[in-house]
């Protein structure tokens, strides 16, 4: 496939600029149409990124009028499922903003639809494509023996305004999937069960569930703990979390841009004797959204499955669903896919 890929962009809201910036720097794809119910939103993006694109108020009208290779879906979460089904039925590959769908049942339908159409369906999980996470994951895999424990801390005081401040389960539903997906990448494990406690602290400007603690049992016996809050003012972590991994031969930490660890060189006595290490920083050619988009387009052109395919991302989404169910019931929840 040597010709330029033709894409339709669904949704011209704020997040679409994070897609269009890397897309505008590529020569192998053209955004040929922009869909948004508000024409001013589409016109703004078309002008901002100098797109030679047609405007449509609805995706169905765009798909009926033109042929596209790809749907880039930046629409509201509730539209991701019907948009993807429609695009797959028209022979398009689909890259969606997260969440991939509103339930694992919908994701199963999308996986089946993509298989029938012989097309790729994938989701943006931009934190998989960071220099830090690749460096940290390799240190976990190579430097500390067998992984036993993985901890993530996410603490930010964020004043979004708008719909998020009225959402139920706002931290778990809108943010935690990033951290849960990171945990799966770092550990190489999938979830088995979870116990979650969720609350809304005094002083919170969110209506519901701005803080949570979750303890996941993963495959291979790894325990992953998540502590998070969107109304923690002061002493902020990064958006990618602060991480600690404990293995049978040492530990490694990732805090902001610092990644460092210690391996055991002599056991016994009151404390083990350890040797510090500082992994060599990996430098990716494409990071964040650009990394996710690049891998997706390479797989569209040359074959293969992107690591954020819906057939894999369903495990991250079920971690969110199961954590919410545990928080609502006060019980540990078994996870069975």
pLDDT tens digits, residue range 39-57? 999 999 999 999 999 999 9
pLDDT surpasses 60 at 1: no
pTM above 0.95, yes or no: no
Tell me how far apart the alpha carbons of residues 93 and 16 are, in angstroms, rounded to a whole number.
18
Sheet holding 250-255, edge to edge: 273-277, 258-266, 250-255, 242-247, 147-155, 223-229, 211-218, 191-199, 333-334
pLDDT surpasses 90 at 270: no
Average pLDDT over residues 303-320: 96
In the chain, what's the furthest Cα-to-Cα distance?
75
Average pLDDT over residues 24-34: 96
147 contacts 140 by C-beta, under 8 angstroms? yes
Tell me how far apart the alpha carbons of residues 314 and 309 are, in angstroms, rounded to a whole number.
9
Tell me how far apart the alpha carbons of residues 259 and 279 are, in angstroms, rounded to a whole number.
7
- Least confident range of 136-140, 226-230, 271-275, 288-292: 271-275
Sequence-distant (≥ 6) Cβ neighbours of residue 10 within 8 angstroms:
35, 36, 59, 71, 72, 73, 74, 75, 79, 83
User: Under DSSP, is residue 202 helix (H, G, I), strand (E, B) or coil?
Assistant: coil
**pLDDT for the residue 51:** 96
Q: What is the pLDDT of residues 158-172, one digit of tens each?
A: 998 888 898 899 999
144 contacts 116 by C-beta, under 8 angstroms? no
Tell me how far apart the alpha carbons of residues 293 and 306 are, in angstroms, rounded to a whole number.
10
Tell me how far apart the alpha carbons of residues 296 and 305 are, in angstroms, rounded to a whole number.
8
**pLDDT for the residue 68:** 98
Average pLDDT over residues 104-130: 96
Q: What is the pLDDT of residues 178-195, one digit of tens each?
A: 999 999 999 999 999 999
pLDDT surpasses 90 at 337: no
Radius of gyration of the chain (CA): 21
Q: What is the pLDDT of residues 203-229, one digit of tens each?
A: 999 999 999 999 999 999 999 999 999
- Least confident range of 58-62, 269-273, 311-315: 269-273
Which helix or strand (DSSP H or E) is residue 46 part of?
A: helix 39-48
**pLDDT for the residue 2:** 61
Sequence-distant (≥ 6) Cβ neighbours of residue 172 within 8 angstroms:
196, 198, 209, 212, 214, 320, 323, 324, 327
HSE-up of 286 (CA within 13 Å, CB side)? Answer: 17
């Amino acid at each position: 496939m040597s010709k330029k890929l033709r894409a339709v962009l669904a949704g011209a809201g704020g997040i679409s600029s994070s897609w269009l910036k890397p897309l505008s720097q590529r020569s192998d794809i053209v955004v040929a149409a922009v869909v948004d119910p508000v024409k001013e939103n589409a016109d703004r993006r078309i002008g901002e990124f100098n797109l030679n694109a047609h405007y449509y108020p609805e995706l169905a009208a765009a798909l009926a009028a033109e042929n596209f290779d790809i749907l880039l879906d930046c629409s509201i979460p509730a539209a991701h499922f019907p948009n993807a089904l429609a695009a797959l039925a028209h022979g398009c590959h689909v890259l969606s903003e997260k969440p991939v769908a509103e339930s694992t049942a919908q994701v199963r339908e999308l996986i089946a639809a993509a298989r029938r159409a012989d097309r790729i369906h994938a989701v943006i999980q931009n934190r998989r494509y960071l220099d830090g996470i690749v460096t940290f994951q390799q240190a976990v895999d190579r430097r500390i023996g067998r992984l036993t424990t993985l901890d993530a801390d996410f603490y930010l005081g964020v004043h979004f305004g708008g719909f998020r401040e009225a959402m139920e389960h706002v931290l778990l539903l809108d943010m935690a999937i990033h951290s849960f997906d990171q945990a799966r990448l770092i550990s190489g494990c999938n979830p088995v069960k979870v116990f979650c406690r969720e609350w809304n602290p005094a002083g919170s400007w969110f209506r519901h569930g701005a803080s949570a603690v979750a303890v996941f049992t993963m495959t291979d016996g790894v325990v992953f703990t998540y502590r998070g809050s969107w109304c923690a003012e002061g002493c902020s972590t990064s958006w990618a979390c602060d991480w600690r991994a404990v293995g049978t031969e040492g530990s490694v930490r990732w805090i902001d841009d610092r990644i460092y660890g210690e391996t055991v060189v002599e056991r016994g006595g009151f404390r083990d004797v350890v040797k510090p290490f500082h992994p060599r920083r990996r430098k990716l050619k494409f990071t964040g959204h650009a990394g996710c988009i690049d891998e997706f387009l390479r797989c569209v052109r040359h074959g293969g499955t992107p690591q954020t395919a819906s057939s894999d991302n369903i495990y991250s989404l079920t971690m969110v669903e199961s954590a919410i169910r545990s928080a609502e019931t006060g019980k540990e929840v078994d996870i069975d896919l």
